[in-house]
Amino acid sequence: MENIDNLPIDIVIATHNSRKMDEMGRMLFNSAYQPLSLKQAKVFEEVEETGTTFKENAILKAETYGKLTGRLTLADDSGIEVDALDGFPGIYSARYGGQGKNDNDRNQLLLTKLDGVSGNELTARFRCVVALWNPIDETVVTFEGKMEGSITRNMKGKNGFGYDPLFFVPEKNRTLAELTSQEKESVSHRGKAMREATSYMAENLFSLRGV
């Protein structure tokens, strides 16, 4: 009979974005946790992001999807803050421009908003908050990551998603979309937050398993 302590713990990645699901799932590879998509957990509802901060929205998604699935649940909320736009689009990054827009539409809209802004004023950052909901005691813990950079005038690179083709990473001298998955995860806002989360999950394995 297999020892229950050796079995992976199912953890729901609370996103309908398949590329984000893949990215977060890779960061759990070779851990004691088995990532499940919302589709695999048979949850198709969309949670309305009514929070006013990344942290509020991450907690909202982790709690809501966690209660729907009854499983350990990991959710993130992330976005890009552009200094010349007073931190916008921020928490509205994935909804920038309204419904029906794709990544390319949002990137083009951002460039339009920055028309006429000088190059040295194109500083920006990505922020991410990851929230972990525990079904055993219905508590939530959060982890944060940030990455500084700037906006480029032209989209470059085919990797990643969202605003990655426009976000220039000084330490790599390339945009996020020009980096490999491993390179991106080593410096990105989500990579930083996820490393904190996975470290916590490793240290609290037995309490998260409920034994």
Task: Give the chain's count of helices (H) and strands (E).
Answer: 6, 8
Nearest to 62, CA basis, from 73, 50, 72, 47: 73
Are 62 and 90 a contacting pair, CB within 8 Å?
A: no
* Residue 115 is a catalytic residue: no
Contacts with 53 (C-beta within 8 Å, 6 or more apart), sequence order:
91, 129
Classify strands 9-13 and 33-37 as parallel, antiparallel or unpaired. Answer: parallel
Are 143 and 200 a contacting pair, CB within 8 Å?
A: yes
Active-site hit among 10, 77, 86, 115: 77
Q: Which residues are catalytic?
A: 77
